[in-house]
Amino acid sequence: MELVLIRHTTPAIEKGICYGQSDLDVADSFEAELMPILKELGRQSKVYSSPLKRCRLLAERIGEEVVLDDRLMEMNFGDWELQPWSDIPKEEIQPWYDDFVNVPAKNGESLKELSVRVESFLNKLIKSGEQKVVCFTHAGIIRIINGIIENLNLKQIFDLKLTYGEIVRFSL
């Protein structure tokens, strides 16, 4: 199976703000960022996408059929969503900094919980028998899938640097 993962384009939000599952709009640069992705991929008959707008809008421009799957959503940062990272109380965020793999954001999810969700999606794809799968998703999901394929532990997945609109290909 060829697995093609596309990170969403630039979201319309200031730098330094915590966001994961917040349903952000896309930046004004969306059309310009779309063009190289469309040129490389062309139109696809079927694609999978996170239901969040920053992924869905891109998926709808590339795919004829868009299958939305919540397992492709970014990490849930709970009470921290849409807050400046610098405003999150130290006593709240420090345990997460110390062990982000196992400790969830306040009323959110941990990296381990996110990984379980993503692995469930990946296992479904592998069992589907599809020859090529195109997914529009988030950096966290792409990093976890790369970690699963490369047999990395969750602390190592952040070595993969991703830009907005980046296309990553895997052969499974």
Q: For the chain, what are the domain ranges?
A: 2-171
Q: What is the pLDDT of residue 52?
A: 98
Task: Give pLDDT tens digits for 40-91.
Answer: 999 999 999 999 999 999 999 999 999 999 999 999 999 999 999 999 999 9
What is the tens place of the pLDDT at every residue in 2-52? Answer: 999 999 999 999 999 999 999 999 999 999 999 999 999 999 999 999 999
Task: Kindly report whether the global pTM for this prediction surpasses the value 0.75.
Answer: yes
Contacts of 10 (CB under 8 A, 6+ apart): 26, 27, 29, 30, 33, 164, 165
Q: Between the CA of residue 41 and those of 60, 94, 108, what are the distances in Å?
A: 13, 41, 34
Q: Hey, what CATH topology would domain 2-171 get?
A: Rossmann fold (3.40.50)
Q: Is the dihedral of CA 54, 9, 6, 139 positive or negative?
A: negative
Question: What residues are paired with 68 via a beta bridge?
Answer: 49
